[in-house]
Every structure is written in C-alpha cells, then in structure tokens.
Amino acid sequence: MGSNKSTIQYIPDVKELIEETGFSAAHIQRLFERFDLLDRDQMGTLRVEDFEAIPELAMNPIGDRIIGAFFSSGKETVDFPTFVRVLAHFQPTDSNRTKNSSQEPYNSPNRKLQFAFQLYDQDRDGKISRAELLQVLQEMLGMQVTDEQLQSIAERAIQEADLDGDDAISFDEFKKSLEKVDIDQKMRIGFLS
Amino acid sequence: MGRMCILCLRYRVVWCALFLLLCFSGGECETQTTQPSGPTSSQGVKPFHNEDPKPQAFPDPEKTNLPVFTMDYPRIQVPFEFTLWVLLASFAKIGFHIYHKITIWIPESCLLICIGLIVGGIMHSVKEEPPAVLSPDVFFIYMLPPIVLDSGYFMPTRPFFENVGTVLWYAVVGTLWNSVGIGLSLYAICQIEAFGVQDINLQENLLFASIISAVDPVAALSVFEDISVNEQIYIVIFGEGLFNDVVTVALYNMFSFMADMPTVESVDVFLGVARFFVVSLGGLLIGVVFGIAAAFTTRFTHNARQIEPLFVFMYSYLAYLVAELFGISSVLSIIICAITMKYYVEENVSQRSCTTIRHVVKVLASISETLIFFFLGVVTITTEHEWNWAYIIFTLVFAFIWRGLGILWFEGAVCFALVFTLPETINRRKLFVTASIAIIIFTVVVQGISIRPIVEYINIRRSNKDKYNINTEIHSRTMEHIVSGIEDLCGQWSHYYWKDKFKKFNDRILRRILLRDNRAESSIVSLYKKLELQSAIGLLDTPMGDLSAAPSIVSLHDEMKEASRPKKKFKTADVRKMQNILAKNMYKIRQKTMAYTNKYKLPDESDTREILIRRHASIRRSLRTTSFRDPPSRNIAKSQNIIRCSRAATWRQLLRSDEEVLVALLHALPSHSVP
C-alpha cells in the first residue's frame, strides 16, 4: 500500500499540478496517498474496478455517473493528474491559490456547475434532454414513485428551466435555474481547502 | 429529523426507567427471598423408585390412590409469572399499534407506563405485592445487558470514532457541570426555612444531584437543517448517553461515600478521580479482550455455523459479568466488546448467522425495555411516597436551568435507580425517591408528547420559507450526492494520522489473525452479502421480478414525438404535490447514520438495497444491450463504454471471489462475452 516516506518527489510534474489546480503541496501528497491506496494493482493508474470497489460509492445513487466523470477523456485508466484535476473542482471558491490567471480556476462556480451538468448530460450534446433528466430522476427516487409521477416531475422541471423552447435544458438555462442556490456552498469539500 | 428526536428520547428514557425501577424494588424487596424454589421441593407425582433406599420408617397413615390430576404451582411459579408479565406487556404493545393514531402522538414508553400504572393500581387495591423477582440483581444482571448490547452493536462506529473527543467531553464535563450546579442550588434552597427541608446537608444534595444530572428535562429539539451537522449531533447525543453512565456512577460512588463521612478531605476527592479512571479504563480493557476473543473464535466456526450466534452473546455477556465482578463499568465493557467484535465477526460468520445475531439482539433488547417500562408503572403505585412540593419543583426547575446553561440541549442518560440504593442513613430518602420519580415521569410524558407537535411546527415553518422550484430541489440533491460521493472517494481526512495508523495495524496484523478469509478485494462482495442481496438478486432474474421494467430510455424517435405534444399546464397544487414526492422519495445522503436510529427495528437498509439492486439491473441491462442491440450510438460518451467493458470483468471477478455470491449470480451473467 502507500509508502510512508514523503512521496511528493515521486510525482511527476508536481509543481505544474500545484499551480494549475491550486492545491497545496500537503494536499497533493494526501491525494497521492489516497490514489495509491485505491490503486489495487499498483500500476500507477486507477481503473473502473478500483472506483467500484469503494462500497460507499456503490451505495450512492449516482455513483456510476460520478465514476464516469473521471473517465470523461475517453481513456481507460485515470492517472494521478486527472484525478487531482477532477477533485480540484471541489475546493471552496475562496481558497483560490492558483497563479495561473489565464485559465478559469477549477473551483470557480462556473466550473462546478459544468461538472454537475456533465453528470446529467451523458451524450455530451450540451443539453439535458427529457430522457436524460428522466434517467437521473429514476436513479435518485425510490421505487414507490410511479411512471406518471416521474414523467410529470421531469416535464415540470423542463418547463421551469427551458427558456428557448427546445424542450431541453442547455448549460445556460441550467445555470439560470440555479441562480438562487449557493453553488460554492453545495459543491465543496471542506477539508480540501 | 423528527424521527431522530423521538428515538433519542426513547433511548434515554429507558435508562432512567431501568434504574428507577430497580431502586424501587431495591428499597422494598430486600427482605424478600428472590430465589425461586428449585425442583427439589416439588411434590409432584412421586417417582416409583425413591432415591432413599431405606425402608420406610413408618407406614403411611392412610393409603392414598394414585393421583390422576395434580397441580404444583410453586415449582413453576417464577418462570410462569415471568412469562405472563412479558406476555402482558407484549399484548399491550400490540394493542398500541393497532390503534395506530395513538402511537404517533404518545410514545410507546408513555403508554407502557400507563398500563403499568393501571396494573399497579389493581394490584395495590387487592393488596398484592409486586413480583418478588424484582431485585436489583435481576435488573443489573439480566435486564440491563441486552439493552446495552443493542446500543453497542448497532452503534455507527465511523462517526463515533471521529467524534469521540466531543462525546467524551460532553459526557464527562457535562455531567459534572450539571450535578455540581444542581446540587449547590438545591442546597441553597434547603437553607430557606419555609420549605422545611433544612436537614438535607450538602453531601446529600450533591449525591441526589449527581443522579438527577443526567436527566435532561429540556425538550430534545434538533432544529439543524444541515445534514452533516445532524450526523455529528446525533452521534454526540448517542455516545454521550452511553458514556455519562460511567461518570454518573463514579460521581455517585464518590458522593455516597462522602455522605457518610462527617468531613471530606481533599485526598478523598483525589481518590474519587483515580477511581473514575480505573473504572473506565478497566471497562475498556475488558471489552477489548473479550471482543478480540470472540472475533478469534469465529474464525474457526465455518464448520459449525449453527452455533455462531451463540458466541457473540456469550462473549459479550461474559465481558459484562467480569466487569461487574471487579466493580468496574460493565456498561462500557459490553459496549466496547460489541464494537470490537462486530467488525470481525460479521466478516467471519455466514450470512444467516449475521441476520440471526441482529434479530436476536433486537428481540432481547425489546423484551427488556418493555418489561422495564411496564414495571415502572406497576411499582410507582405500590411504593410509599413523600411529597414536598418545594423541593420537587425546585429540582425540576434547576435541572432545566443547569441543563439549559450547559452547552448541550439534549437529554442525557440517567442512573436513576441509584437513588434507591441510597443508604438508609440519609433521612430524606423517600423525598429523594419521590423527586426522582416526578422528574422521570415528567420527562417522559411532557417531552414525549410535546416532541411531535414541535417537530411538525418546525417542518411547517421550514416549508413556508422561500419556495424552491422543482429544478432547485432536484439539482441540489444531485449536488449533495456528488459531494458525498467525492468525499467517500477521498476518504476521511480528519484525524488522519491515527486512523491511518490504525488502519495499517488492522490490515497487517489484526485482520490476518482474526479473519478466516482475509481478502482485501471483497469489500463489494461483503457489501452485497451484508445487505442480503443475493436472494433479492435471485428474484431479479425471474421474469416476474425484473426490475428493469422501470421507465425505459426513450429512443431518439420517441423523443421527437414527445416534443410535439402540447405542453401540460401545472397548477400550484400539482407543483406542491411534486415537491412532496421529491421530498419524501429522493434518496437521502449519509443514510448510514440515520439507519441506526430506530431503536425498535433493525437498521433500515432498504434504500441502499434498492440502489444496489437497481445498479445490478442496469448493469445487466447494459451488458445485454451491448450484446443484442445495435452498437451504441456514437452519442453516448466514451466513458460509458469504458464502464460497460470493465463491468463484465468486475462481475467475473466477483464470481471468483465469493462462493455464495457465485451461486446467486451464476444465472445472471449473460452467455455472450462483451467486447
């Protein structure tokens, strides 16, 4: 399993990673130790099975989608920088230490919303269609909810959010429907700050 | 949240009731014999052959014929009466649940006490005494362990260990604060001549206060809306209740010893503190020793599956008794034993034994609790009381105030019965007794009845706040699930150092010794095992139980048809109904802690099982679709493809690793292999 020695020097390009994501060196080290713990076959990358072996994630209703978010680049394994980049989304917005000002920081509210949006939009067409919304609702609701109830909830959700009448929710519409919600508060993990 | 309050209340009150009860009987029944008459004194039908080989010294005065029908009540008296009492209390319990409406407003404990009062009234009027078996020993040795085992076994360990510092702090400091505060205030009151209680001195007041201090008459309100705060608060109450028993006992011992002494020296206080440490650390040690022993024993039981549950009970009971032997905190020891043993035992024993253990623990605890409340009612009527208005009211008032001034606003556990083991030398013993009863009944009745309206009021206030729309509700919950998932992915980072060290120790040494089958990759498999999913999955595979009959994904073609439908208009009432549906049916996060709060039922894992069964169904569906249907449209993200491909590998891996799951999943795996 993970080694106790200070492993920060074994991570390639660690300085760029720190700059890009805004994590401190201590965080990167902890994340690396966690990465190492999850990496069963010790190949330096994580596969789907490594994610699925986490029981709590299996019990999460949208666990599959969360796992999918790590594999969005199409590669079959997740290397450490990708792992860190995904987790960078969950830093609190105000703890922005990145010096790289040209790129939008990972933990901006916009990027956080994009992350959430991608979980809905499985076919990557930039819109949440009714079918996709239905799928998510189905996953998140108990089995007592009937078909018609599901359909009407999805219908109502689209009606509320859809401003341009294309019967789907685009990213901007998604953002607008959540304007009253404090995104940073919702999508943050305290100990990553 | 409301459920949580109600359940915390129930748990606390059991403690009070138990001790109060035994104190009643402790005071009154000391002179009565408690030993049941053994079979040696039975007179039943005489056996043909006498053990005594002497010839009869004198002939029978008259020859009696063989009795056809005899009755020997004393022989079976004790077990018979015990069974009758249990039955009576259980009938009462069934009766309450038939009239469902009552139990919503009045907690079961109140109702049981009422029935007990009625029966006690009947007994009093016919001048019967309560059953002779109600002695302190019976309670401490037979009735308390199941309840404590129940709490210890179903305690959520992860949140507990994360918050152990807070828990202990509140248990120790909170109890101290309350007892000293209440004791001093009551002593001040006693100085006032008008109340006529001047003869109670400071030590006696402190003694009484140490007993009362753990009762919290302030209503248990959890008004926190943030779920993550809820978990912490919950575990603090839960843990505090368990552990301030230790503190209260130590304080009680110290004060009762001091109450006898004319003067108190500082060395006595110091000794009292030392005793506290001995008591708690000793309990911890004994619990750990027996827990490890149980875990180790279950490593070898794979050929004797039927007796596996026995070990859990025997070892935990032994832990309790050995601690009692040495006069250290038996409650602490049985809890620690249960916590230690649970993790390893549940991995070693078979699925059926696991279920059996859980059910039996619950049943025993339920019986004990029912009996306790019931007897509380009975015995209340049949003892003598001394009532002094001022003292009692002030006790209530001060308990309120000092608890309120304290940081916690939730109930604590009570070592109530101690009141009745107060030595007779204390003059106002009866007054103390009466005051304690008053407080406990007040607590049970007032808090029990008032919790529900308060919780409903709060819920109404919450839902009248700014109206979120449907989108916000759905997306907020999704985001909460995302965060929860990512947190689980990262693992817990607080107290990282010790947890990591323990985990390494656990993996390297403990698991190797204590587990029969130490395979690290079986966490998913053990999860399925734990949730008894094999049988559910087996059902899935029959055509009738196919859960993939949920709303299916509409194809592209259907979608276009949908879009051309006229838009439905939703009325406000519809929207509100939808919000209700969402509020009730969306899976909550952090389900694990809440699952353990229900005292009378096993932890509620139905949501988790639903999620996992659905996942299994969707995996199967996706494995099927890739084999049968057209290749997936290019629009589906590559990530889904990757996940699908690895799924097949995962299922094969699962098959290899556990024979029990193998049997269930064998017909689930499709015969086609996935590219």
Angle made by CA atoms B464, B466, B471, in degrees to the nearest 5: 115
Of the ranges A100-109, B38-47, B375-384, B426-435, which one carries the lowest mean pLDDT score?
A: B38-47
Closest CB to A134: pick one of B551, B575, B645.
Answer: B551
Q: For residue B214, what pLDDT band results from cuts at 50, 70 and 90?
A: low
CA quadruple B488, B491, B494, B495: dihedral, nearest 10: 140
Average pLDDT rounded to a whole number, residues B357-382: 79
What pLDDT is recorded for position A35? 87
B649 touches chain A (CB under 8 A): yes
d(CA B48, CA B45): 9
B206 CB neighbour count, 10 Å cutoff: 24
B430 touches chain A (CB under 8 A): no
DSSP reduced 3-state for B657:
helix
pLDDT of residue B494 exceeding 60, the answer is no
d(CA A22, CA B592): 33
Q: For residue B313, what pLDDT band results from cuts at 50, 70 and 90?
A: very high
Q: Which residues of B touch A76 (CB under 8 A)?
A: 642, 645-646
The length of chain B, given as a count of residues: 675
What is the DSSP code (8-state) at residue B567?
P
A114 touches chain B (CB under 8 A): no
Average pLDDT rounded to a whole number, residues B321-341: 88
What pLDDT is recorded for position B50? 43
B602 touches chain A (CB under 8 A): no
Bridge partners, A127 (sequence order): A170
DSSP sequence for A121-179: -TT-SSEE-HHHHHHHHHHHB-TTS-HHHHHHHHHHHHHHH-SSSSSSEEHHHHHHHTT
Instruction: Inspect the interface and report whether the beta carbons of B587 and A138 lie closer than 8 Å.
Output: no
Instruction: Inspect the interface and report whether the beta carbons of A90 and B486 lie closer than 8 Å.
Output: yes
The separation between CA A23 and the C-alpha centre of its own chain, rounded to angstroms, equals 16
Instruction: Inspect the interface and report whether the beta carbons of B646 and A47 lie closer than 8 Å.
Output: yes
Mutate to test the interface with A, among B468, B469, B487, B490 (most CBs of A within 10 A): B490
User: The tokens of B539 are what?
Assistant: 């059902």
pLDDT of residue A22 exceeding 70, the answer is yes
Closest CB to B563: pick one of A30, A149, A167.
Answer: A167
User: The tokens of B72 are what?
Assistant: 């020997």
Closest approach of chain A CAs to the CA of B558, in angstroms? Answer: 10
Residue A107's Cβ-side half-sphere holds a number of Cα atoms within 13 Å equal to 25
The separation between CA A126 and the C-alpha centre of its own chain, rounded to angstroms, equals 16
Q: Where are the beta strands (DSSP E) in B381-479?
A: none
Mutate to test the interface with A, among B611, B634, B641 (most CBs of A within 10 A): B611
B486 touches chain A (CB under 8 A): yes
Mutate to test the interface with B, among A7, A35, A56 (most CBs of B within 10 A): A56
B550 touches chain A (CB under 8 A): yes
B367 CB neighbour count, 10 Å cutoff: 16
Angle made by CA atoms B606, B611, B616, in degrees to the nearest 5: 120
The sign of the CA dihedral B188, B194, B199, B200 is negative
> Tens of pLDDT along B578-614?
877 877 777 777 554 454 444 556 666 677 777 877 7
B483 touches chain A (CB under 8 A): yes
Of A175 and B206, the structure prediction assigns the larger pLDDT to A175
pLDDT of residue B216 exceeding 60, the answer is no
Bridge partners, A170 (sequence order): A127
Do A28 and A81 contact (CB within 8 A), yes or no?
no
Closest CB to A59: pick one of B582, B611, B638.
Answer: B611
The contacts of residue B328 (CB under 8 Å, 6+ apart) are: B278, B279, B280, B282, B283, B286
Do B78 and B38 contact (CB within 8 A), yes or no?
no
d(CA B625, CA B103): 49
Nearest CA in chain A to B563: A167
pLDDT of residue B116 exceeding 80, the answer is no
pLDDT of residue B283 exceeding 80, the answer is yes
Of B669 and B447, the structure prediction assigns the larger pLDDT to B447
CA quadruple B566, B570, B575, B581: dihedral, nearest 10: -50
B635 touches chain A (CB under 8 A): yes
Q: What is the phi/psi pair of residue B492, to 5°?
A: -90, 135
Mutate to test the interface with B, among A33, A59, A115, A139 (most CBs of B within 10 A): A59
Top mean-pLDDT range of A104-113, B268-277, B336-345: B336-345
User: The tokens of A106 are what?
Assistant: 């990972």
Q: Which residues of B touch A39 (CB under 8 A)?
A: none
A26 touches chain B (CB under 8 A): no
Q: What is the CA radius of gyration of chain A?
A: 19
B585 CB neighbour count, 10 Å cutoff: 17
pLDDT of residue B292 exceeding 70, the answer is yes
> Tens of pLDDT along B552-563?
444 444 444 444
**Domains defined for chain A, CATH in brackets:** 1-93 (1.10.238.10), 108-188 (1.10.238.10)
What pLDDT is recorded for position B610? 78
Sequence-distant contacts of A103-112: CB under 8 A, at least 24 apart: A103/A20, A105/A22, A106/A20, A106/A21, A106/A22, A107/A22, A107/A188, A109/A183, A109/A184, A110/A175, A112/A183, A112/A184, A112/A187
DSSP sequence for B254-312: HHHHHHHSSS--HHHHHHHHHHHHHHHHHHHHHHHHHHHHHHHHHTTGGG-GGGHHHHH
Q: Which residues of B touch A153 (CB under 8 A)?
A: 470, 474, 578, 581-582
Closest approach of chain B CAs to the CA of A41, in angstroms? Answer: 11
